Amino acid sequence: MLSTMNSTYFGGKIFTAFPVVISSLKRQSRTTVAAINKKGGKQQNVKGQRFDVQIGKDTSVPVTLGFTKSNELFVGRLAMIGFASAIIGELLTGKGALAQFGLETGIPITDTEPLVIGLVIFNLVAALLPAKGVFVPSDEEEEERPKGSLQDPSISILQPLKFLGISGFGFTKANELFVGRVAQLGFAFALIGEAVTGKGPLAQFDIETGLPLSDTEPLLLAFIAFTLFAAINEGTGTFEQEN
């Protein structure tokens, strides 16, 4: 059985709570999701699943499960937008991301601690352990995908460019992936810092550097503009394991 959002895939059928009807779900991979239930019901490593979900007549949405580079890129873009939005919100309200969430929802921070802790852990894991998980994105290839730079033991932190997957300058998907990882780490540590100090990322920066906000406005505006552009820019190139 596979559940995603408001729909459930079980026994070759889809049960959904969406107001639209999903007309068909075509599985392109030769490995079934049910493979994880074999061998006494214990979870096994299986190849990634890619589905083409057709909603209506002409709309088709590809969905790939697992910790893949494409999914990590999407999460990184969300982190960049979230981090930039948190900074803009602090400029307007003087409050950090957690306090802004309390303003919008009316829920005190003490009641959202499990959610915040879960969000911080997810960002740290996604940023530090990319492309690792049960599923791999190879749908058509029989052989296993070669290890990436962060899975190759011969590449250490003493080789920062290779370790972080930086191949050069420019708005490429590989560099965007790196910026997304930095945004995930930055957003996670900003939440941790606000939980400890009660101040947002800008106020934390002021505490660390002693510089008033008025002196850092040009740098701040450039950072926000770059982060938003990197998040919405499509980027060039493709990941090698997706070819």
Write down the pLDDT at residue 84. 86
**Band of pLDDT at residue 140, cut at 50, 70 and 90:** very low
List 52's β-bridge partners, or say none.
26, 62
Write down the pLDDT at residue 21. 38
Write down the pLDDT at residue 52. 66
Across the range 174-184, mean pLDDT stands at: 79
Region for residue 138 given its phi and psi (left: phi exceeds 0; alpha: psi -120 to 50; beta: otherwise) = beta
List 106's β-bridge partners, or say none.
none
Write down the pLDDT at residue 147. 56
Gap between the Cα atoms of 106 and 115, Å rounded? 15
* Residue 73 confidence (pLDDT) above 70: yes
**Band of pLDDT at residue 29, cut at 50, 70 and 90:** very low
Alpha helical stretches, state H, the chain: 69-93, 97-105, 113-128, 160-163, 173-197, 201-209, 217-232
Q: Are 63 and 9 in contact (CB under 8 A)?
A: no
Gap between the Cα atoms of 143 and 189, Å rounded? 38
**Band of pLDDT at residue 154, cut at 50, 70 and 90:** low
* Residue 178 confidence (pLDDT) above 70: yes
* Residue 96 confidence (pLDDT) above 80: yes
Nearest-CA neighbor of 14 among 33, 40, 31? 33
Q: Which of the residue ranges 10-19, 52-61, 91-100, 160-169 has the most confident prediction, judged by mean pLDDT?
A: 91-100
- In this predicted model, which residue has the larger pLDDT, 36 or 50? 50
What tokens were used for 165? 């997957």
Pairing of strands 50-55, 13-16: unpaired
The position carrying tokens 């214990």 is: 42
